[in-house]
Amino acid sequence: MAKKNTSADQLISVIISGIEDVKGKEINILDLREIENTVCDYFIICEGTSNTQVNAIVNSVQKKVSKELKDNPWHTEGIDNAEWVLIDYVNVVVHVFQKHIRQYYDIESLWGDAKTTVIETSY
């Protein structure tokens, strides 16, 4: 569970770094704080090109957050098929998709009122 002394900004920064370390694609941050009745403050959404890369992204994020912030997710689900894995850090929830699953569910549109930040990657 997220520690009280870890800010959301620190957590987001480490999560993004973990995604970039294994070349996760199409990284978006959705700021949900201005929307009523949300389950968290931020979604981080990205995609991998295969089950293997989705699992690599998940592992990279979890290891990096654990090492740098001494924090572990409250809950993780979707690891078994690695098409859509959710990593719940309570105030920040990470969604790691395969491209076709991301397009199908299109959660960015479902949360269209959220302020979206697109992370530019250089790979």
Burial of 88 (0-12, 13-18, 19+ CB in 10 A): middle
Q: Is the pLDDT of residue 4 over 80?
A: no
Domain that includes residue 67, residue range? 8-106
Q: In this structure, is residue 24 part of a structural domain?
A: yes
| Domain total of the chain | 1
> Tens of pLDDT along 13-42?
999 999 999 999 999 999 999 999 999 999
> Tens of pLDDT along 42-81?
999 999 999 999 999 999 999 999 999 999 999 999 999 9
**pTM, to two decimals:** 0.93
Q: What is the pLDDT of residue 92?
A: 97
Q: In this structure, is residue 121 part of a structural domain?
A: no
Q: In this structure, is residue 42 part of a structural domain?
A: yes
CATH number at residue 75: 3.30.460.10
Distance between CA atoms of residues 82 and 17, nearest Å: 20
Q: What is the pLDDT of residue 123?
A: 83
Q: In this structure, is residue 113 part of a structural domain?
A: no
Q: In this structure, is residue 91 part of a structural domain?
A: yes
